[in-house]
Every structure is written in structure tokens, then in C-alpha cells.
Amino acid sequence: MRLRVSVKFILTLAAAGSIFLLASCIDPSSPGFIAGTGSAAPAEVVSSAELSQQLNKHDIALRFLTAYIRLDRNMALQYASSEAVKKLDWHKRHSGNIPYYDDKMILYFNGGWARVYFQEINGSYIVSDLEVHHR
């Protein structure tokens, strides 16, 4: 009986330790991470202009794509103009057909594709427009 209690106790501690480790992991490349502090701050602390300064067109397009996959219009507005964002349906689930972006500046999604246009602003980029084509 005593051995079972000890094994249960050890398993409980291991599970609690795993949860603690997972909860304490912070990705330093995430937008809310402030370098040098070792802690995450709300995403609002870092402005979209500061965030996108070192990103090239491909990186901006991939972050915009991530927002579209998540159907997160607010995230998309960090990397694109409101005119570009308005051209996509942000309410229609992707139903297992995950949108993707290729290096020819084309965004493919369920039901169509879009050519992606960029605008340079002070050394950084935004998705300025989308030329959407539905199938």
C-alpha cells in the first residue's frame, strides 16, 4: 500500500512539474516578448511599426497568412491595410483547407486565390492590397 501512495505522489508531482514548465515557457520570438526582461508583455506594448521594421515582404505575408488562418482580423491589421483586409471573408471557416502563400506573392485559400501587393513604409512593409479571384 505504501508503494502505491509513493508512486501516485511521484506521478502527481511529475504532472504538476510538467504543467509548470509548460506554463513558464515563453517564446522569445513572440510579438509580446520584450527582449532583456525575460517576460512577456501584452502585444499592445509593441506597435506594428516597430514589429515589422526588420521583416521582409515574405515575413509580412506569412504573418498576414497566419492571421487569416486564425480568422483574426485584428492581427491582420497589424500587417495589412484595412482595404486589403476587407477583401477577404473573415467569417468563413477554412474547413481543413488551410490557406497558404507562395513566393510568387499569391495567397491560395478555399474557393480562390489572391495576388498580394506590398507597400514600403519607412523601411518596412505592409500588405497594401489584394487582387482576389474566386473560383
pLDDT, the chain, mean = 73
More confident residue, 54 or 39: 54
Kindly tell me if the per-residue pLDDT of 22 is higher than 50: no
More confident residue, 110 or 8: 110
Contact 55, 124 (CB under 8 A): yes
Per-residue model confidence (pLDDT) at position 48 = 52
Per-residue model confidence (pLDDT) at position 117 = 96
Q: Using alpha carbons, select from 106, 130, 131, 119 the residue that is nearest to residue 57.
A: 119
For 64, 110, 118, 122, the CA distances from 30, given in Å and listed in that order, are 15, 28, 23, 23
Q: Which sign, positive or negative, has the C-alpha torsion 120, 124, 128, 134?
A: positive
